Structure 1
Amino acid sequence: MDSSSKTCLMAVLAASGSVVFLAMQAHNRLLSNFINQMEFQINASSTGAAAVREDPKKKVRFAADVADKGSGRRAAAGRRNGESLEAMPRNWQAMYKGILQQRNLRGYM
């Protein structure tokens, strides 16, 4: 074989290898997209419309003896001026004390 036929053979091998590599990459991407779409459809059909919606937000409820409506603005303003925890409404006091206890248990402070 002369040098021109060797060069031609190397060019053919390089081109065919590149085509095979690109075909494999395209196949992998198409396959992964297809699998993702199928998983989404399976999850949506098995759980109904709940898969699209998020979980409802949790609501905080206080006991009747702790809940204090009103004076929320006054307590917040008083706290900024350096007044103590007792200036806050009782429901805020309970929540704030719980937050502080949780932080102390975790070692944040």
Structure 2
Amino acid sequence: PRVGIVLSTREPAPLRDVLASLGVTMMSSGSHTEPGGYTGQGRGAVHQTVRGRILPPDENGDALATGQFEISDDRSPAEVAAVLRRGGFEPVWKDWDQALAGR
């Protein structure tokens, strides 16, 4: 049987560093958990939609999108990769998504 171990940025950095030695198959870093976090769209004014209609803003009309969960490990991908290398591991980057998008 095969099993993968995935560590998200929800776990604190010291725990992730120690668990890497168990053979972690995927580890996130540099994550954004707010809607539109990677595109920047979540940094604009947020609106509420009900049944396909945008409601007028309330007093908090300038609110920003908030994260869907708290990030405990806020290290950059380069920082996480450096820790993995120091532990004798070789970071492998996911780079196939642009090929699927035809770019």
Compute the TM-score of the two structures, normalised by the length of structure 2.
0.24
Q: Which has the higher contact order (CA 8 A, sep 6+)?
A: 2
State which structure, 1 or 2, has the greater radius of gyration over its C-alpha atoms: 1
Compute the TM-score of the two structures, normalised by the length of structure 1.
0.23
